[in-house]
Amino acid sequence: MLESLGLNARAGAVYQAMLDHPGHGVDELAALCDLTPGQVHDCLDELTQLMLVRASTEHPGQMRAVSPEIGLADMLVREEVELAARQAKLAASRAAVTRMVADRADSRATHGERLLGMDAIQTRLDLLGRGATSEVLGVHPGAAQRPEDLAAGRAADTEAMARGVTLKVLYQDATRNDPHTTTFAQWLISKRGEVRTAPVIPQRLVIFDRTQALVPIDPADTRKGALHVAEPGIVGALCGLFDQAWSTAVPLGATRADDPTTGLSATERELLRLLGTGVTDETASQRLGISSRTVKRHMASIMERLNATSRFEAGIKAAQKGWL
């Protein structure tokens, strides 16, 4: 039982014998523990180092056992101190490794390959799709997806899902009004893919098996090219971004209920939040994947419900009502 504290079985037996027979000398302890006197002396040296025995003040020249309540408790404290020191050393080593990894990442700038043009992007998407073994995650912002882009990926998607790969696709709520995107989404769902929408989603990206990802070189013009990244830290961050957006999105086919307290739709609430940060109608329309005309129509409806004659007044009343 005491081996975990660094006490071997022979020394532990001598210690127990000294506790049970305080008056025994070396020869008597040797006979009781089936040891030689020399072995008992070795055990006493070990017990002394562990501060489990000390010289007797009552019988000079003899040793006495320290009570377990004191001696073993002190040993536990020393073990805890040593454990804390080892943990601190491990934490320091982990921090050093983290800094080394970060420094290497900084020195390499980005661990990825630039793919210029749609042909290069589509070829890489096909290759990564064929190599996927568990899941493919996609984020596709915008009010509508190009029919040719949807058609280009259908064969690879079919083959991947046939192999048991899970496809999760995130669109903006605005795509629910686009027939090409909704048709493709319904086909994907029929093949056991998953499709969700949200008012605002991250920039375009595709993640394969949570180990590799494609992100646009220029988010403002995704057709210019993409960066193929495999750096675990970067891919992990992209996965976290996707998971957060996915958790608040609504499955296609389900209706997003208006807020029962405010009567606002999710798009209207997000529009209020965006305009409250000072962005323009044009920026808000880009973020929501809707036209500037639709932004104005939503704002007119909100102002009417708030009985406000200006956007400034609408902002004040919305804040007072807790809509922001």
The CA distance from 262 to 172, in Å, is 22
Are residues 242 and 134 both part of a single domain?
A: yes
The CA distance from 106 to 101, in Å, is 9
The CA distance from 252 to 15, in Å, is 73
Are residues 123 and 149 both part of a single domain?
A: yes
* Mean pLDDT of all residues in 57-85: 73
pLDDT confidence tier of residue 6, bands split at 50, 70 and 90: low
Are residues 118 and 233 both part of a single domain?
A: yes
- What is the residue range of 62's domain? 2-66
**pLDDT at residue 1, rounded to an integer:** 53
The amino acid at 217? I
Mean pLDDT of the chain: 78
**pLDDT at residue 3, rounded to an integer:** 62
Are residues 119 and 244 both part of a single domain?
A: yes
Q: Does residue 31 fall inside a structural domain?
A: yes
Residue with tokens 């002190």: 74
**pLDDT at residue 207, rounded to an integer:** 93
- Inter-residue contact 217 to 226 (CB < 8 Å): yes
Are residues 217 and 314 both part of a single domain?
A: no
* Mean pLDDT of all residues in 55-72: 73
Q: Does residue 16 fall inside a structural domain?
A: yes
The CA distance from 150 to 259, in Å, is 33
Q: Does residue 194 fall inside a structural domain?
A: yes
The structural domain count of the chain equals: 3
* Mean pLDDT of all residues in 210-223: 85
* Mean pLDDT of all residues in 16-22: 84
The CA distance from 52 to 47, in Å, is 5
Q: Does residue 97 fall inside a structural domain?
A: no
Lowest mean pLDDT among 44-53, 193-202, 216-225, 295-304: 295-304
Q: Is 103 exposed, middle or buried (0-12, 13-18, 19+ CB in 10 A)?
A: exposed
Are residues 274 and 246 both part of a single domain?
A: no
pTM above 0.85, yes or no: no
Pick the last residue of a domain from 66, 84, 104.
66
Are residues 192 and 270 both part of a single domain?
A: no
**pLDDT at residue 256, rounded to an integer:** 53
Are residues 120 and 228 both part of a single domain?
A: yes
The CATH number of residue 208's host domain is 3.30.870.10
pLDDT confidence tier of residue 81, bands split at 50, 70 and 90: confident
- Inter-residue contact 204 to 222 (CB < 8 Å): yes
Are residues 148 and 190 both part of a single domain?
A: yes
The CA distance from 12 to 237, in Å, is 53
Are residues 292 and 188 both part of a single domain?
A: no
Q: Does residue 258 fall inside a structural domain?
A: no
pLDDT at position 110 over 60:
no
* Mean pLDDT of all residues in 64-75: 74
**pLDDT at residue 107, rounded to an integer:** 44
As a residue count, the chain comes to 324
pLDDT at position 90 over 90:
no
Query: Which tokens hold the place of 156?
Result: 């690879």
The tens digit of pLDDT for each residue in 29-47 reads 888 888 888 888 888 888 8
The CA distance from 37 to 28, in Å, is 9
The CATH number of residue 50's host domain is 1.10.10.10
Nearest to 205 by CA among 195, 216, 217: 216
Are residues 180 and 205 both part of a single domain?
A: yes
The amino acid at 308? A
Rounding to the nearest 10 degrees, give the CA dihedral for residues 172, 178, 184, 187. 100
Are residues 151 and 227 both part of a single domain?
A: yes
**pLDDT at residue 213, rounded to an integer:** 92
